[in-house]
Amino acid sequence: MTVPEDLIADPALLATELRSDIPPTLIDVRWRLAGPPGRDDYAAGHLPGAVFLDLDADLCGPPGDGGRHPLPDPANLQRVLREAGVREGHPVVAYDLGDGLSAARAWWTLRWAGHATVRVLDGGYPAWVAAGLPVTTEVPSPEPGDITVRPGGLPVLDAEAAGRLASEGVLVDVRAAPRYRGEVEPVDPVAGHIPGAVNLPTTDHLEADGRLRAAGAIRSRFAEAGVDEGVRVGAYCGSGITAAHTVLALHLAGRTDAALYVGSWSEWITDPDRPVA
């Protein structure tokens, strides 16, 4: 099983890359589910050269029947990414508040859009600051990029496919165990999970400082949940943000075929005929 080597950016190594003649494009996607907006964090200080993108408005479609964070319109996404300076074949690094969730969704979205060279800053902005690396409040004006969005770069599940995968493969519910069991539901109007899904919170893949665990440890944890070679696997959460982090972890474990149910639970429950466990 081949482990991809181009998923995670170490802060010190990234700092070296940023001093090169051709630095990677930086995207700041700091975000909180319940606010306040990440743009305030960006204004207070960010990595030199980083452009802020709003996860809700820039990298997702409007909430509705497709869930709280559906796929973006390809034309709108292309415009946003070009304005951020994203170029064909040129590496991108995304970072967030440190847990990797919104950066992983940015990584997933760019990969889905056909941009292959995308990494997540391990530990996010806090790890960069803890390493004593420079920050700025200066807002850059990047040269417009030339990326062409080509949807389909990563596999996607719709509701029907997710329900089928839960019985024919492994569908991982990456939310906290009480939400999976339906004991609490702080966000969506219905509690529970997709019948047949197994629970493996994405926090299981993180060290205490928010960095991803080693690939071997992640692979072992997935194996305990039944994710073996040859078994199809997909992930979902409340609205497709946290599950993108699990897809990133699956890639790190060598499962680059892992699919994301983008609509996730927030879409599943829009149809009362869909079963709830």
What are the residue numbers of the active site?
Answer: 237
Closest Cα to residue 108, out of 27, 12, 207? 27
